[in-house]
Structure 1
Amino acid sequence: MDSPGSPYASSPESAPKRSQRPRSPTPDDKEKSTHIRFLVSNTAAGCIIGKGGASINEFQSHSGARIQISRSHEFFPGTSDRIVMISGEFNLVIKAMELILEKLLAEAEDSNDADTRSKVRLVVPNNSCGGIIGKGGSTIKSLIDESHAGIKISPQDNNFAGLHDRLVTVTGSFDEQMRAIFLIVSKLLEDTHYPPSLSSPFPYAGVNFPGYPGVPVGYMLPSVGYNTSNYGLNGNGGRYPNNKGRASAASPQNGQDNSVTIGVADEHIGAVVGRGGKNIMEISQVSGARIKISDRGDFITGTSDRKVTITGSPESISTAESMIMQKVSSSLER
């Protein structure tokens, strides 16, 4: 039975045969609690939050659902995207999703952002993806046939130990995306293992990055091998174990971020940057700090150390420094 009055319920003309059709929520299902998570860029997250939280408060007020967004340094593993989680009764979740997508699509039209206009990436537990795929792919085919949207499920990413979620990418027009999301969430309602809610949109505290066993994503790392006890808004930094590194912290003015410059031996810069910039991008994503490395030949006076400038909150700077030193230590061991 289709949900009465739902704009995303099936029309008899366009629907596949009844035996193949995904089951839409019954009136009882519509009152069940559920949740949905999806990825957005930092810019889109700011758009959802709005000035002083005005937009997110409006979305919550108009939909009746709860909306949470991961913090600025909490990215879905392997991406630079934050996670939005909507939770509440089924119909409220769908309404909130509709309001948010309308807002993001309008912003994307203004900025000519074709990528945002054309796709939504849902975060779905790996053990719930089987129900969306169906035997021999029958369920996902019926979801595609009924919604007219493109639906693709990523393979499980084994690069991140402890990551048990996959991305379900939905492409198409706004109506096609919403119809597909409606059907996917309906399918997840049937899954007894799919939790009605999560305490946080970012449940990846135990996910390990490659080469960083035990390092929690988005959380502060312990200091590695050097003293940072003097760090503070007006303090001076400690020294690295080889005594070459020097750090200085600038006192922030008018609420601006801290900025710290450290020295890294020229021969270890490659390990910090990584192939194609992979390592430094990962460090920036996990820590939430901005990192700039001086040009070749631009050394700290009297040394052969390149200048690595880290900008952000004290916590993000400390995290970035720790990760940089782990890269340097690994390079020294090799």
Structure 2
Amino acid sequence: MESKVSEGGLNVTLTIRLLMHGKEVGSIIGKKGETVKKMREESGARINISEGNCPERIVTITGPTDAIFKAFAMIAYKFEEDIINSMSNSPATSKPPVTLRLVVPASQCGSLIGKGGSKIKEIRESTGAQVQVAGDMLPNSTERAVTISGTPDAIIQCVKQICVVMLESPPKGATIPYRPKPASTPVIFAGGQVRADPLAASTANLSLLLQHPPLPAYTIQGQYAIPHPDVWMPAHRPALMSSPFPMIL
């Protein structure tokens, strides 16, 4: 990918991935999707939000660099607006910084940090933003989280510099993208025992459970407890085969 730096920014198309909590995603989407629609129209960037009932979501921003920087500016200023609104009902006097988390291939993080941390130090000093690169990769991926904190203007300048580094040092090898896992549904057995994943029992416990199955379980859905498939029953039981509930394998 060729990159040229000009006064207006880089004249290339690229994709940036952000990791956001549910509340942050709700702020970006807005009522009936009005906020994200406005961001798409005014920035010219494509903004996609990953599906799923997950505590974390991936927000993917794609387009020419100028469009991406506009989208980042709108997101950063929206988060600052949320912080100001939350402070009106809080005794806190100092305004916390806006924080965004980028998801970056681990193979590019060395270039972002630089020899002896020189590059990341330069980015911090020239933009005024705080930048932290996670030491560990995100679960089941070859990507790391890069956390940027500061004023919206500092964040925008920081993202511009990070984009330059990423374009100059493309990822090496295949990248396994991070995909947030859905929140696990707790399973409650008769007697009040809670097990987030009934299949996580040890082999010894599983053998014991097969000999002495527990009473029917219930899973919480909203405000209701509904019968859960009895996964501990031996497979040859006819009742299991005719159960209206799906088996958990």
* Equivalent of 1:311 in 222, 232, 235: 222
Aligned to 2:83: 108
Give the AA of the match of 1:131: S
CA contact (8 A) 1:69 1:83 kept: yes
Q: 1:96 matched to which residue of 2?
A: 71
**Structure 1 residue 81 and structure 2 residue 5: aligned?**
no
Residue by residue over 1:147-194, the C-alpha shift from the partner in whole angstroms, topping out at 9 and shown as x without a partner, is 121111111247x3x311111111222222221111111211212338
Q: 1:262 to 1:128 in 2, by over 3 A?
A: closer
1:102-124 CA-partner distances (Å, limit 9, x unpaired): 11211221013989743211111
C-alpha spacing 1:311/1:37, structure 2 compared with 1 (3 Å) = same
Match of 2:23 among 43, 61, 82: 43
Q: In the superposition, relative to structure 1, how do residues 109 and 127 fare at CA in structure 2: closer, same or farther (>3 Å)?
A: same
Distance 2:26 2:172 in 1: 29
SS, match of residue 193 in structure 1: coil
Q: Percent identity?
A: 27
Q: Secondary structure at the match of 2:53?
A: coil
CA distance 1:267–1:102, shift in 2 (3 Å) = closer
Cα separation, 1, equivalents of 2:145 and 2:96: 15
- Residue of structure 2 in register with 1:4 after alignment: 7
Q: Any residues of structure 2 matched to 1:22-171 within 5 Å, and which?
A: 30-74=10-54, 80-112=55-87, 117-157=97-137, 160=139, 162-171=140-149
Q: Is the contact between residue 132 and residue 184 of structure 1 (CA under 8 Å) also seen in structure 2? A: yes
62-71 vs 80-89, which deviates more? 80-89
Superposition TM-score, scaled by structure 1 size: 0.52
Distance 1:100 1:325 in 2: 45
Q: Once the 2 structures are TM-superposed, how far is the Cα of residue 66 of structure 1 from its aligned partner?
A: 0.3
- Matched to 2:189, the amino acid is V
**Partner Cα distance (1:121, 1:68) in 2:** 16
- Say whether residues 1:181 and 2:159 are aligned partners: yes
TM-score for both structures, normalised by structure 2:
0.68
CA contact (8 A) 2:106 2:137 kept: no
Deviation at 1:33, TM superposition (A): 1.0
Cα separation, partners in 2 of 1:138 and 1:204, compared to 1, 3 Å: closer
Q: Structure 2: how far apart are the matches of 1:156 and 1:122?
A: 14
Partner SS state of residue 155, structure 1: coil
Hey, what's the Cα distance between the residues in 2 that align with 1:131 and 1:263?
A: 48
- 1:235-271 alpha-carbon deviations (Å, 9 max, x no partner): xxxxxxxxxxxxxxxxxxxxxxxxx9975144852x4
Secondary structure, in 3 states, of the residue corresponding to 1:36? Answer: strand
Q: Report the CA distance between 1:143 and its aligned residue.
A: 0.8
Structure 1: how far apart are the matches of 2:23 and 2:186?
Answer: 27
Provide the residue aligned with 2:196 in structure 1. 272
Task: Determine the C-alpha separation between the residues in 2 that align with 1:272 and 1:261.
Answer: 4
Mean CA deviation greater in 59-68 or 114-123:
114-123
Mapped contact 2:108–2:171 kept (Cα < 8 A): yes
Distance 1:31 1:121, change over 3 A: same
Taking the aligned partners of 1:115 and 1:36, their CA distance within structure 2 comes to 27
Residue type of the alignment partner of 2:142: H
Ranges in structure 1 where 5+ consecutive residues have no aligned partner: 6-24, 75-79, 208-216, 222-259, 280-302, 327-334
Structure 1 residue 87: deviation in Å? 0.6
Secondary structure in 1 matching 2:196: helix
Structure 1 pair 262–41 and aligned structure 2 pair: CA distance change class (3 A) = closer
> Over the residues paired in the alignment, what is the CA RMSD in angstroms?
4.0
Number of equivalent positions: 207
Q: Residues 45, 261 of structure 1: CA spacing in aligned structure 2 closer, same or farther, 3 A cutoff?
A: closer
